[in-house]
């Protein structure tokens, strides 16, 4: 099922998120429960969840995923306060995820901030073990990371080490980000089947709870993490489109996190590309004029 990241805020709150997804003709979506770069969150009672759920039901949206804010870091062994805050916040965020009606919270595993891979991974395991218990309702989907800075979770082997250290790891899932995999060094464009076979050395494919479908501005192995619009980057349309057609992922939320399109000659991100990118992926045919069309339709 295909969808995109959508916003959450203003008066309409989560109801607005569902409306945004429907405006893209999406079958699913991903949402942050507030601004992704901070941890201020509204009370669930103010988020218009019942209305959002009704609108989803009316339109056949059966699944969506929540993304945890990317500023919390379970890998931080330098600042105990930051680690404790991350644990506390993520426990609440998992509860919010379930209350909103999702069973998956995507999480960037963490960054070791200079203390090394082993220290970071042990810290992440310790944190997740404080977050999950037998009664936790939603899953944590660990996202594959590009490897910029001291990010962890850049290889399946690292993710498996985290998984193996977690007591309630029946609550752990994976989120594959195609841009991040490419930037981490996996041959997404040339041999995605091989990437999945490599993954299967550590995890069965049914552990994949979410796919982030992004093209990349950078070459395989660049460790950069800069997303590009579908078909305009180094992975290319054919591979990304083929992933959306794989029967293995027919029931998996496939989420676009591609960049907004700036106005002609400007830099600032202005227009959502998602309605047009979703339509193009469904059609199976790349349109080299897509960026122009997005601008034209947005300005009309
Ligand atoms: Fe992410
Ligand atoms: Fe992602
Ligand atoms: Zn990214």
113-132 tens-digit pLDDT:
999 999 999 999 999 999 99
Q: What DSSP assignment string belongs to 135-204?
A: T--SEEEEEP----TTEE--SHHHHHHHHHH-TTGGGEEEEEEHHHHHHHT--TTT-HHHHHHHHHTTS-
Give, to the nearest 10 degrees, the angle between helix 274-283 and helix 237-244.
80
For residue 249, is pLDDT > 90? yes
Residue 156 CA, ligand 2 centroid: distance in Å: 15
Distance from the alpha carbon of residue 28 to the mean position of ligand 2, in angstroms: 15
Mean pLDDT, residues 274-287 taken together: 98
How much is the pLDDT for 10? 92
Ligand that lies nearest to the alpha carbon of residue 257, given by its number in the listed order: 2
Under the banding of pLDDT at 50, 70 and 90, the label for residue 39 is confident
- Residues within 5 Å of ion ligand 1 by Cβ? 143
- Ligand 1 centre distance from Cα of residue 300 (Å): 32
* Helix, strand, coil in percent for the chain, rounding step 5: 40, 15, 45
pLDDT in tens, 48-88: 999 999 999 999 999 999 999 988 999 999 999 999 999 99
Distance 140 CA to ligand 3 centre (A): 17
pLDDT of residue 63: 98
Look at residue 35 in the predicted model and tell me its pLDDT.
82
- Given this model, what pLDDT does residue 40 score? 86
Q: Say how many Å lie between the CA of residue 226 and the centre of ligand 3.
A: 6
The stretch 181-197 carries a mean pLDDT of: 98
Which listed ligand is nearest to 211 at the C-alpha? 2
- Tens digits of residue pLDDT in 216-236: 999 999 999 999 999 999 999
Evaluate if residue 13 carries a pLDDT over 90: yes
Q: How many angstroms is it from 106 CA to the middle of ligand 1? A: 7
Q: Over the chain, what is the mean pLDDT? A: 97
How many whole angstroms from 32 Cα to the centroid of ligand 2?
12
Tell me the ligand closest to 178's alpha carbon: 2
Per-residue pLDDT at 75:
97
Tell me how far the alpha carbon of residue 229 lies from the centroid of ligand 3, in angstroms. 12
């Amino acid at each position: 099922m295909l969808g995109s990241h959508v916003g959450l805020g203003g008066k309409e709150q989560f109801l607005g998120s569902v409306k945004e997804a429907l405006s893209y003709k999406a079958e699913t979506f991903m949402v942050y429960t507030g601004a992704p770069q901070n941890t201020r969150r509204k009370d669930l009672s103010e988020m218009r969840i019942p209305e959002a759920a009704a609108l989803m039901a009316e339109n056949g949206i059966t699944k969506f995923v929540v993304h945890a804010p990317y500023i919390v870091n379970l890998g931080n062994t330098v600042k105990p306060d930051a680690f404790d805050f991350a644990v506390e916040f993520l426990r609440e965020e998992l509860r919010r995820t379930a209350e909103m009606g999702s069973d998956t919270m995507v999480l960037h595993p963490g960054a070791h901030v200079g203390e090394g891979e082993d220290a970071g991974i042990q810290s992440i395991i310790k944190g997740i073990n404080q977050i999950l218990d037998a009664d936790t309702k939603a899953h944590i989907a660990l996202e594959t990371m590009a490897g910029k800075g001291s990010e962890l979770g850049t290889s399946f082997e690292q993710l498996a080490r985290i998984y193996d250290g977690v007591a309630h790891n029946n609550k752990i899932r994976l989120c594959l980000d195609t841009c991040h995999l490419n930037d981490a060094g996996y041959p997404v464009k040339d041999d995605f089947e091989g990437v999945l076979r490599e993954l299967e050395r550590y995890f069965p494919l049914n552990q994949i709870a979410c796919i982030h479908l992004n093209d990349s501005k950078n070459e395989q192995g660049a460790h950069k993490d800069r997303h590009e619009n579908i078909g305009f980057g180094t992975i290319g349309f054919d591979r990304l489109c083929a992933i959306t057609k794989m029967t293995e992922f027919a029931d998996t939320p496939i989420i676009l996190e591609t960049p907004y399109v700036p106005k002609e000659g400007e830099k600032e991100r202005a227009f959502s590309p998602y309605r047009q990118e979703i339509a193009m992926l469904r059609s199976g045919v790349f349109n080299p004029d897509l960026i122009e069309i997005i601008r034209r339709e947005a300005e009309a």
